[in-house]
Amino acid sequence: MLATLPAQPPALTVAGFVYEPKYDGIRAIVEVVPGGDKASVRLWSRNGNEKTAQFPDVVDAVGEWGRALPGTVVLDGEVTALDPDGDPTGFQRLQHRIHVSVPGYRSAKAQLSPDEQPVALMVFDLLREGEDDLRPLPLVESTDPVRSGQF
């Protein structure tokens, strides 16, 4: 989950290369367990810190999406702040949301609600689908609508 620099950056026009954009947010592993009116959703940072309570709007949106899934999925993505036009913006804006619902946390920064500082989850990869661990597979291998990005 942590980006590393190659010895020499590849040209952005090489056939067969896939590029993951840098959104300047918080990298997240997201577990989605379908069931009932809404799926159960949990988020963790790359350091293993629980982030679920900090992004209730992401949890609600992914929960709505995930209720129709045939089984549990684990996603690799990034939570990023959005500007007024709905476009990803820098980490500085996300800092106003990081501790928005952590009990007892005090910050010099004004903490903003989801309505005041919207965020989005940008999903990069499907790591697990049901009992299938997809991490050993090539990124571009797809055999069904979930794996092909049509979810």
pLDDT in tens, 111-127: 777 788 899 999 988 99
Q: What is the average pLDDT across 78-96?
A: 89
Catalytic residue among 22, 38, 51, 109: 22
Q: What is the pLDDT of residue 107?
A: 56
Interatomic CA distance for residues 70 and 146, integer angstroms: 10
Radius of gyration, alpha carbons of the chain: 17
Q: Are the CB atoms for 125 and 75 separated by under 8 Å?
A: yes
Residue 22 falls in the annotated catalytic set: yes
First to last CA, the chain: 22
What is d(CA 19, CA 53) in angstroms, rounded to the nearest whole number? Answer: 30
CA dist 103 and 46 (Å) reads 22
Q: pTM above the 0.95 mark? A: no
**In the structure encoding, which two tokens stand for residue 27, read together?**
């990298």
Give the pLDDT score at 143.
Answer: 44
